[in-house]
Amino acid sequence: MSLVEEIRRVLIENPDILVDVLVSRPEIVYKALAKLVPWQNLATKQDVGELRKEVEVTKEELKRDIRQISVKLDALGAHWGVLGEDAFREGVREFLREVGYKVERWLYYDADGHVYGYPSEVELDIVIKDGVVIAVEITSSLKRGDLYIVKRKTELYTKASGRLVNAVLIITPYINDKNPNYVKVMAERIGIKLVTPEEAAEKPL
């Protein structure tokens, strides 16, 4: 067996060696990439740093907007009992527009029954601000089973539109469950942020 073959065998049987080398000498990877793509297309450390700053700014803006929506939702919640479901949704959509979001009402025929288990029309609000895409479910009352419906709606939207969804929100004045805190935990575990009137009174996000 030649030396090259022996080295190849050792690396295949012990891949951790290769990982250790790349971690300790990351410039090897960068040089290899430079041969494959034009140098100007490679992200520098400065580029990555700027991108991280932009992401952090976006997160802070989103947190601020959610707090603002929660305060207004509290006010609307005091009157929502005299409003129909459609009027409630339009009221929340107007709040979203006020804080600078573009609101798109997405309607889609789910022929494969991905969301409900049978063919049906699916509706979801998509709000966009500064390139951030957020899927929003607006409902006057939330049950724990609704969480997975919203998750499947978002999956279907992503598949059908090809758009990356940066966050998923459910905006509601009322969690219809014997254990609302459990519903909040469930939502967090599957990547959904609940926006309720209580949000405004809770500690900073």
Domain ranges in the chain are: 3-36, 45-202
Q: What mean pLDDT is reported for the chain?
A: 76
Reduced to 3 states (helix: H, G, I; strand: E, B; else coil), residue 198 is helix
Q: What is the pLDDT of residues 136-185, one digit of tens each?
A: 998 888 999 999 999 999 999 999 999 999 999 998 888 889 999 999 99
| Candidate ranges 18-22, 26-30, 117-121, 193-197; pick with highest mean pLDDT | 117-121
Reduced to 3 states (helix: H, G, I; strand: E, B; else coil), residue 168 is strand
- Give 173-182's long-range contacts (Cβ < 8 A, gap of 24+): 173/73, 173/74, 173/76, 173/77, 173/80, 173/140, 173/197, 174/77, 174/140, 174/141, 174/142, 175/141, 175/142, 176/141, 176/142, 176/143, 177/142, 177/143, 177/144, 182/144
- 203 pLDDT more than 50: no
Q: What is the pLDDT of residues 124-139, one digit of tens each?
A: 999 998 888 999 998 8
Question: Can you name the CATH fold of 45-202?
Answer: Trna Endonuclease; Chain: A, domain 1 (3.40.1350)
Q: Which residues contact 101 (CB under 8 A, 6 or more apart)?
A: 65, 127, 128, 129, 134
